[in-house]
Amino acid sequence: MNKALLEELLQLSPADRVELAQELWDSVEDEQLPPLTLEQMEEIDRRIEEHKKDPSRAIPWEEVRERLRARFG
């Protein structure tokens, strides 16, 4: 990575750095992402099994989003 570029980018406002990070993340195609680790795959499997046991505990995305907005703005 170009250190001079990084130093320049770190001078951006926090909001601009977040926007840049999102733009960079969105520029990576799914097939370009690194593979999940064994631990990540196990955690996904654990959560799926937990959901299958009691799907009533799931919270709709709209509700989660509203909670986050209320908490963080």
56 pLDDT more than 90: yes
Q: Which two tokens stand for residue 5?
A: 């570029």
pLDDT digits (tens, 9 = 90+) for 14-50: 999 999 999 999 999 999 999 999 999 999 999 999 9
Segments in the chain forming alpha helices (H): 3-9, 14-26, 38-53, 61-72
Q: What gap in Å lies between CA 53 and CA 14, rounded to an integer?
A: 41
Q: Mean pLDDT, the chain, as a whole number?
A: 95
Residue 73 has pLDDT above 90, yes or no: no
Pair 58, 51: CB distance under 8 Å: yes
pTM of the predicted model, to two decimals?
0.55
Amino acid identity, residue 69? R
